[in-house]
Amino acid sequence: MKSRINELKEEISRMAAANADELEALRIKYLSKKGQISELFNDFRNVANEDKREVGQMLNELKNAAQDKINELKDAFANAASPEEKTDLTRTADPLKLGTRHPLSLTKNAIIEIFARIGFTIAEGPEIEDDWHVFGALNFAPEHPARDMQDTFFIEQNPDIILRTHTSSVQTRVMTTQKPPIRMVFPGRVYRNEAISYRAHCFFHQVEGLYIDKNVSFADLKQALMYFAKEMFGEDTQIRLRPSYFPFTEPSAEMDISCNICGGKGCPFCKHTGWVEILGCGMVDPNVLENCGIDSKVYSGYAFGMGVERITNLKYQVKDLRMFSENDVRFLQQFESAL
- Residue 16 vs residues 24, 33, 70: alpha-carbon distances, Å: 11, 21, 9
Whole-number Å distance between alpha carbons of 318 and 91? 36
Which of 236, 280, 242, 243 minimizes the C-alpha distance to 258? 236
* Cα 300 from chain centre: 36
Q: Give the integer Cα–Cα distance in Å for 292 and 278.
A: 28
Q: Which CATH number applies to 104-338?
A: 3.30.930.10
Predicted local confidence at residue 150, as pLDDT: 60
CA distance 186 to 295: 22
Buried b (16+ CB within 10 A) or exposed e, 279-304: bbbbbbbbebbebbebebeebbbbbb
Please report which helix (H) or strand (E) contains residue 223, including its range.
helix 218-233
Describe the strand order of the beta sheet including 158-163 as a list of residue ranges. Answer: 128-130, 158-163, 154-155
Looking at the chain, how many residues does it have?
A: 339
State the alpha helices, DSSP H only, in 44-190.
49-79, 103-116, 131-134, 168-177
Give the dihedral of Cα atoms 181, 241, 112, 260; nearest 10 deg: -160
* DSSP H or E stretch at residue 218: helix 218-233
pLDDT at 292: 93
Range 202-236 burial, b when 16+ CB lie within 10 A, else e: eebbbbbbbbbeeebeeebbbebbbebbbbbbeee
| pLDDT confidence of residue 82 | 52
The alpha carbons of the chain give a radius of gyration, in whole angstroms, of 38
H or E element: which one contains 283?
strand 275-284
Domain coordinates in residue numbering, the chain: 2-85, 104-338
Other beta carbons less than 10 A from residue 37's beta carbon: 20
Q: Give which of 295, 28, 247, 12 is closest to 134, Cα–Cα.
A: 247
252 vs 218: CA distance, rounded Å: 10
User: In the chain, what's the furthest Cα-to-Cα distance?
Assistant: 117
174 closest CA partner among 281, 278, 303, 297? 303
Cα of 24 vs its chain's centroid, Å: 50
Q: How far apart are CA 151 and CA 194, in angstroms?
A: 7
Q: Distance between CA 212 and CA 128 in Å, rounded?
A: 25
C-alpha to C-alpha distances, 81 to 19, 71, 90, 156, 199, nearest whole angstrom: 11, 16, 18, 61, 56
What letter does residue 242 receive in the DSSP assignment? E
Instruction: Give pLDDT tens digits along the chain (339 positions).
Output: 778 778 878 888 888 887 878 888 888 887 887 778 878 777 777 778 777 788 778 878 878 888 888 888 888 776 665 555 566 777 777 776 777 788 999 999 999 999 999 999 999 999 999 888 888 899 887 777 766 656 788 887 777 888 899 999 999 999 999 999 999 999 999 998 888 887 778 889 999 999 999 999 999 999 999 999 999 998 989 999 999 999 999 999 999 999 877 777 887 777 888 898 999 999 999 999 999 999 999 999 999 999 999 898 888 888 788 888 888 888 888 887 655
Q: At what angle do helices 2-13 and 36-43 cross, to 10 degrees?
A: 160
pLDDT of amino acid 262: 77
How far apart CA 183 and CA 109 sit, in angstroms, is 17
Q: How many CB atoms lie within 10 A of CB 150?
A: 10
